[in-house]
Copies of this chain bind each other. A is one copy, B any other.
């Protein structure tokens, strides 16, 4: 089934006309100014991820002009709207009411109302709810228009120093240990930069898992992106883990990037490598296992060298 965007052009023409208009390139008639009132459009609107200046002119206009803003958390979004003196009505949608809300929102679109869909931060749908609403709108042939803007993973990627021409975004890592490890295992052979979101209280465990399962690869931990305490930590997974472990606590949302698995050039002896890990608090047999994996040796060989 090919879903042509039958009603799309109306809304999009209006968008484009406004753009040309704002550039002084189009004379606009009353008729075409009214076009946007004819069909209900679902706008997917990117909002700031930490710095209120990171919002586009079009996002502000759309949030102001639509009939309803559908938010992940109305209190959170209300603060954004208040800051920009936007009075538009809000409704909540989230994981737990998305099914019912989808029907309500589609009825609004059907009746010609325009809706802006936002998440708490960044681009909706990318590790955020909204998928069901957008797909319902597509299936029912309502025009759907994305208003591009901030997304944390892209922001982290371009400052990471890692290749940005190819990457795999894998969203939030599972919170349960076994599920997280299984997920990392499935990504071991992917030959691109890997990007994840991770909670601050799990980052140390996750970095340990990376060392154990993927090897001591280059990683970047990006914290508090675009905020006052924005920070990028770069090094191997183990180096960054040790650096974070030395802190009393780790706070803020984290974007974690893992570099392509290039075999690290060994600058220390096998014995030294095991000793370093032990000093970092890793049990001797785990340290031996890890060094064996990193160096492509058998555990037995490493054990012999350490004990010899």
Contact = CB atoms under 8 A, between A and B. Distances in A.
B158 A166 contact: no
B127 A165 contact: yes
Interface string A12-28: 11011111101100000
B170 A166 contact: yes
Most chain B CB inside 10 Å of its own CB: which residue of A83, A158, A168? A158
Interface in A104-145: 123-127, 130-131, 134-135, 138, 144-145
B2 A240 contact: yes
Most chain B CB inside 10 Å of its own CB: which residue of A52, A147, A159, A171? A159
A55 B57 contact: yes
B150 A19 contact: no
A150 B123 CA distance: 10
How many A residues are at the interface, by size bracket? 35 or more
Contact of A235 (B1, B135, B147): B1
Contacts of A227: 16
A288 interface: no
A197 B144 CA distance: 21
- The oligomer's copy count stands at 2
A31 to B, nearest CB: 17
Contacts of A165: 126-127, 131, 171
A243 interface: yes
A1 B235 CA distance: 6
Contacts of A54: 56-58, 147-149
Given A54-B56, A157-B125, A168 B171 contact: no
A228 to B, nearest CB: 4
Interface string A163-194: 11111111100000000000000100011100
Given A22-B52, A126-B164, A228-B13, A148 B138 contact: no
Nearest to A194: B168
Contact of A192 (B44, B49, B61, B168): B168
A53 B61 contact: yes
The list of the 6 closest CB pairs from A to B, nearest first, reads A16-B228, A53-B58, A148-B150, A2-B235, A125-B164, A148-B155
